[in-house]
Structure 1
């Protein structure tokens, strides 16, 4: 008999099982500490062999979503999926202090920090060139950094700036900036007045997978943001990648 998951599916069965269980754990349908469906139940539902089911469980264990208790079964682990609120972090801190996302994390009892990876002139991706009105080989200033919560990488951020705005300012220097690059632009008379976000789920690039320590083959949430200032001038473009199984985006309208 053909089960519902076999029809028109191109996924390996172990990936189907892992996806099914992952969704139920992250949605709260299987709370932390509750036992996952048995191998017998999963076999009846997916028609999978015992080793295939075990491979799916190993995937969830690597992702920190499940654990095996010898002789008792497999249980959902307390996961650390967190909601990020990007719209709340667009403005630089008024006093040149901590990034707003770090201050927000500390209010929740978490510790946040950033690690600067690179500051360089580069030919940016096509979407950034289009936003800045650059030619095909036109360059922008890139600042790349990893953001951490409780010493776990949560986001790889690539921020591009028009060269004419970055040259001669701390933005072009290979060091962290107190209050962030947004503070430098604000003091130059270029406040962030409008942001446009595009969010998509994509397979991570090798660089993203390494920076975020992706444990298995999982998508990332890719957020592309262009920030505009006075006279609708684009002042920066960001590509932000978050581990899809650990973070979700929250917007309030």
Structure 2
């Protein structure tokens, strides 16, 4: 019988993980004052130095904030749940991309900034999803999405080159209504999408672009969008900072 897997992380990291879960789950509400160091020291049966290290980890990760002479408090906002299903349908004619509309509905200011648009040989998993032969290229559109001026997602979207070349998909400017609206105008309506969701440490690009604190992981979504006859028309690699967002999915049965 295999031996039990032991948590050998430093105690401060383990305590930080316990408190982080309380904040992410909502058990510790935004704005709540954190128990005193003495109370935490007693609860976790450790030293004051270890408690201070644990709290500093969470301050660096923006889960906690210290107020001089008052105490330490839970950050002022919950982790936000994002529902990808809300963005599948193309925007109505003349309307913004649905991601921006949904931000407005939540009383947030959403915007995108384009980083690059270029023809590339895509990563292997993207090429496989787009059904490309070895060495075939795709059109890459890279951008950052912001909510209330904070970086919320880093997006790399790939399109079959024969579909994208000579269209606004190859233009560095943002697409009015977003790519779903443009693809539908081009005769490629979105019929379905597959999402694979994972969590992992951030790359340097993600760490810098999303302003990741310390060792906070990112949520990675690998998305394949299909049109008629199961034709893949877009593959997107999307990453979000895991300390600020959750992914929400609703499944209808029957």
Instruction: Give TM-score scaled by structure 2 length.
Output: 0.90
How far apart in 1 are the matches of 2:30 and 2:95?
Answer: 37
Aligned equivalents of 2:227 and 2:183: distance in 1? 9
Task: Write out per-residue CA displacement over residues 17-53 of structure 1, whole angstroms, 9 at most, x where no aligned residue.
Answer: 2111111012121223333233334334545443332
Q: Is the 8 A contact 1:36 1:76 kept in 2?
A: yes
1:32 — aligned with what?
Answer: 30
**1:135-214 correspondence to structure 2 within 5 Å:** 135-214=133-212
Equivalent position to 2:112, from 108, 111, 114: 114
Deviation at 1:16, TM superposition (A): 1.4
C-alpha distance in 2, partners of 1:211/1:139? 25
For residues 132-174 of structure 1, the C-alpha deviation after alignment (integer angstroms, 9 at most, x for no partner) is 1223433211100000000001000110001011011110112
Equivalent residue, structure 2, for 1:18: 16
Partners of 2:108 and 2:244 in 1: CA distance: 15
Shift of 1:122: 1.4
Deviation at 1:84, TM superposition (A): 0.7
Deviation for aligned residue 1:182: 2.0
Bigger shift: 173-182 or 199-208?
Answer: 173-182
Where structure 2 has 5 or more consecutive residues not aligned to the other structure, the ranges are none
Q: Is 1:79 the counterpart of 2:77 in the alignment?
A: yes
Decide whether aligned partners of structure 1 residues 187 and 69 sit closer, same or farther in structure 2, where only a CA change above 3 A counts: closer
Secondary structure in 2 matching 1:87: helix
SS at match of 2:189: coil
- The aligned residue for residue 231 of structure 1 is 229
Does the aligned pair in 2 maintain the 1:13–1:46 contact within 8 Å? no
Q: Would you say the 8 A contact 1:84–1:250 is kept in 2?
A: yes
Unaligned runs of 5+ in 1: 1-6
> For structure 1, which segment, 172-181 or 35-44, has the greater mean C-alpha deviation from structure 2 after superposition?
35-44
- What residue number does 1:133 align with? 131
Instruction: Report SS of the residue matched to 2:16.
Output: helix
SS in 2 for 1:37: coil
C-alpha displacement of 1:92: 1.9
Instruction: Please give the alpha-carbon distance, in whole angstroms, between the structure 1 residues aligned to 2:131 and 2:26.
Output: 45
User: Which is worse superposed, 124-133 or 66-75?
Assistant: 66-75
SS of residue in 1 equivalent to 2:187: coil
- Paired with 1:69 and 1:128, the residues of 2 have a C-alpha distance of 47
Structure 1 equivalent of residue 87 of structure 2: 89
Gap change, CA 1:132 and 1:73, over 3 Å in 2: same
Q: Count how many residue pairs are aligned between Structure 1 and Structure 2.
A: 247
Shift of 1:218: 0.8
